[in-house]
Amino acid sequence: MTRDPRTLRCEDGATIAYHFTPGKSPGVVFLTGFMSDMDGAKALAVEAWAGARGRAFLRFDYTGHGASSGEFADGTIGRWAADAVLVLDRVAEGPQVLVGSSMGGWIMLLAAMARPERVAGLLGSAAAPDFTRDLLTSMLTADQRRTIEKDGLVLVSNDYGEAPYPISMTLIEEARNHMLLGSEIPIDCPVRLIHGLKDSDVPWETSQRLSESLGSNDVEVILVKDGDHRLSEDRDLARLTAVLESLIDRIGG
């Protein structure tokens, strides 16, 4: 039977929906991608893996996503990173390994920088730091650029669902405050990055650039020859949890 999520109330009255299972430390926190939710295949696969090993696990929806309150179009990278820090502070217990999918890979980096004493390791799946600058703006057509400049919002087709992505000028402008690639990222914990060579949304070179920018010397990039952006096939999920298990062994959990 599906459990109803718990909710965490933010200072501004917004609510964050989450599922938390207590267990062994370090715990694992899953951070979802852009316009995704905590019921996706990767989040549930990691939850099943953690449950089988008695390890603490937390998955949640950013505000404007899934079962949390708010409108997606009102969200920003800074707000979603603040959501991640809030669940770290008020729900998770002790050291954590953050697993970030796509945009969640950007959010996990920002959360690790905000709470370095709480983050023991990072695992990115098609991590997409800086995607609003490096990818999103370049994919807009001339008509879409005119629309977003005039109206502050444009609808962009979504290859993974029927509902289009509402992209706001606020999202793009606010994200400039959180750019990471191109200068050293002050993160010292072990990091593992999985990326598909056939990823048509986020180039695999993004993970390579990220590995070069990280301050940590314990960084590994795993490239998947036939892997796409989602990396949600059974073999991909098995790889994800195997890398996670190896990372936690490395940390000493």
Structural domain contains residue 174: no
State if pTM tops 0.85. yes
Kindly tell me if the per-residue pLDDT of 162 is higher than 80: no
- Residues spanned by the domain of 34: 8-129+186-248
CA angle, residues 48, 197, 174, in degrees to nearest 5: 75
Is there a catalytic annotation at residue 229? Answer: yes
Amino acid code (one letter) for 69: S
Mean pLDDT along residues 76-85: 98
Tell the residue number behind the tokens 């090993």, with chain if given. Answer: 53
Position 169 in a domain: no
Q: What single letter denotes the amino acid at residue 126?
A: A
Catalytic residue among 68, 102, 125, 168: 102
Q: Which of 61, 65, 229, 236 is catalytic?
A: 229
At 204, the pLDDT band (50, 70, 90 cuts) reads very high
> Cα–Cα distance between 104 and 127 in angstroms, integer?
7
Q: Is residue 81 part of a domain?
A: yes
Residue 156 lies in a domain: no
Flag whether 35 is in a domain: yes
Q: What is the pLDDT at residue 182? A: 87
Instruction: Give every CB contact of residue 4 below 8 A, 6+ residues apart in sequence.
Output: none
Query: Residue 220's domain is classified under what CATH number?
Result: 3.40.50.1820
Is the model's pLDDT at 163 over the cut of 90? no
How many structural domains is the chain composed of? Answer: 1
Reported confidence tier of residue 2, pLDDT bands at 50, 70, 90: low
Whether the predicted pLDDT of 203 surpasses 60: yes
139 inside domain? no
Active site residue 83: no
Residue 209, in any domain of the structure: yes
* pLDDT value at 81 more than 70: yes
**Residue 148 within a domain:** no
3-state DSSP of 100-149: EECHHHHHHHHHHHHCCCCEEEEEEECCCCCHHHHHHHHHCCHHHHHHHH
Given 199, 201, 207, 236, which residue is catalytic? 199
